[in-house]
Structure 1
């Protein structure tokens, strides 16, 4: 029989509540940058980039060092184990780069998804309510998140985003494995971050200036979260 789990102290409960509130503050969501080495290989190969540690580091640095326009949009970043120990060009560990922009750092600790009662095959995890893009295109993910937040129902929780592909597809395509494309790729990332910041408040209106991959399906057969 497993030993009983110790109860949290009032101080620990407050700390957890404060962390959750920071991550899903109005207009903020999560950048899921926790692709495994194998998963990110598929993304890199799609733009002709070799799956090396340096390319993985450079691409993630591109996201983490985007300018301050993303600061009101990203409350937390989920990292892969490797990324926790990588550094930016200026010598700062990536977790510090992220914290310097006001976001919280974490790693994936759930064990996957479980069936959601009363639905036809939908699944859920249990930490807050975040909308996963699930293979939708960038624009679909923003529009659907916006529609959910415009639904006139009482919600006792914030409903925000935890997007990987739906925040990165256009940025990845613009980068194409070339360091000279860093700035244009960061612009694509910022554009999606701003769109989803509005969508999680029910305020998103398509601008007609979507990125190069905004309408492309991001569906991956048999993808495992």
Structure 2
């Protein structure tokens, strides 16, 4: 209501009273403005306002995500960096040249059509995306011919997190939107971004958990804006002496933070995939756990933290041997508990160890190496349905330990 006129003083002769009048009038006016503004905006709920992706974009993203986690299918992670593939080649006596990298990826992607019964998508490294087979066919086309969806690794590696205890974050956000737009135009329909968390006495710290969760959320949002399905990968490394219970609690804490961040960034969950570690004890833990123990801890952690809206979960192998990765995935799918998402694989080393050993860089061994890939893909396809029989698939490196300390791609 308007203030009454006050005319019992003169502003020139009684400046103190005038100042008090102006001040009180200003305060009351400001309060009225604020109250009216609050009333007019109360129905808008501005603190939670955002736009969902368009119905067309939602449909495109969910279709891609659901195709990747179709029953009995999973992902071949062939996105090793130049330095990482060099280490793999060194183990088999192959020189790390661009053409040898091309020949090896050609071996993988030109495998018999039957491989597509269990491989729905392949994660590529930037270099690989633009390489071609001997006959000039781009690798992306080789995959499309088999109805395999091309994907791309988009992070630029881990960097130290200042002020932490040897923890890290992941870089690559600055130009991600432009790169995603180009990758989509070049035939990639999903992407992967890896963050790394370490279990030690004082880690992972709140700083590290929060930072990596927000980085993953920002990445996922940028991908979806460019019609690319984001695979969210918060990997809790298996290094250390921690037991299964500590690994489970850390995994739950990390995943809870990740999904809070994804919610904060309005990420469309039905158009995302999660690539987590299985819950396993540290590599140096003296207690040995069964596949059923790992399955129980893993499914429990996921149920406590991952919304049912998520399109699917594609586990990383985390240094397990080929056989361990298949057996544990099978146990997870056999576990008698709530599992509202498809639970499948996104394996690199656990799909390629036998392939590399069989190939050895020799052209005459290509077919034998491709057969190894098909066998292991089939084993994991069965495991994704809870139908794998332990030991039923024998590979040239099936039981070889694949753990790498402080693993960095």
What is the TM-score of this pair, normalised by structure 2?
0.52
1:112 equivalent to 2:192? Answer no
SS for the counterpart of 2:399 is coil
1:112 deviates by 1.7
* 1:197 aligned residue: 381
Structure 2 unaligned segments of length 5 or more: list them. Answer: 1-48, 155-192, 197-233, 237-245, 260-271, 274-312
Query: Which of the two has higher C-alpha Rg?
Result: 2
Question: In structure 2, which of residues 116, 134, 138 is the aligned counterpart of residue 89 of structure 1?
Answer: 134
Aligned 1:59-208 pairs, distance under 5 A: 59-109=104-154, 110-113=193-196, 114=234, 119-122=248-251, 127-128=272-273, 129-208=313-392
Please state how far the C-alpha of 1:224 moved relative to its aligned partner. Answer: 2.7
Pick from 199, 213, 219 the counterpart of residue 397 of structure 2.
Answer: 213
| Consecutive unaligned residues in structure 1, runs of 5 or more | none
Aligned position for 2:82? 37
Q: Which residue number in structure 2 is paired with residue 17 of structure 1?
A: 62
Deviations 1:6-27 (A, max 9, x none): 6411000000000011000000
Question: How many residues are treated as equivalent by the alignment?
Answer: 222
- Residues 131, 162 of structure 1: 8 Å contact kept: yes
Contact 1:161 / 1:196 at 8 angstroms: preserved in 2?
yes
- The structure, 1 or 2, with the larger RCO (C-alpha pairs under 8 Å, 6+ apart) is 1
The offset of 1:120, in angstroms, is 4.0
Offset at residue 57 of structure 1 (A): 0.5
Distance 1:74 1:223 in 2: 24
Match of 1:77, SS state, is: strand
SS in structure 2 of the partner of residue 82 of structure 1: helix
Instruction: Write the deviation string for residues 174-212 of structure 1: whole angstroms up to 9, x where unpaired.
Output: 000111110000011111000000000000013545111
CA distance 1:5–1:184, change in 2 (3 Å): farther
TM-score (norm: length of structure 1):
0.92
Cα deviation digits, residues 14-46 of structure 1 (max 9, x gap):
000000110000000000000000000000010
Among 68, 72, 75, the residue aligned to 1:27: 72
Residues 115 and 121 in structure 1, CA contact (< 8 A), matched pair in contact too: no
Cα distance in 2, alignment partners of residues 198 and 209 from structure 1: 11
Contact 2:195–2:235 (CA<8 Å) still a contact in 1?
A: no
Q: 1:6 to 1:118 in 2, by over 3 A?
A: farther
**8 Å Cα contact 2:74-2:118 kept in structure 1:** yes
Paired residues of 2:376 and 2:393 also in contact (CA < 8 A): no
2:76–2:348 contact (8 Å) kept in structure 1 = yes
Q: Give the deviation of 1:154 after TM superposition.
A: 2.1
1:48 aligns with 2:177: no
| Alignment root-mean-square deviation, CA | 2.1
Greater share of helix residues, 1 or 2?
A: 2
Q: Distance in 1 between the 2:389 and 2:347 partners?
A: 19
Q: Distance in 1 between matches of 2:50 and 2:131?
A: 34
Partner secondary structure for residue 119 of structure 1: helix
- Determine the C-alpha separation between the residues in 1 that align with 2:381 and 2:127: 28
Moved more, 12-21 or 101-110: 101-110
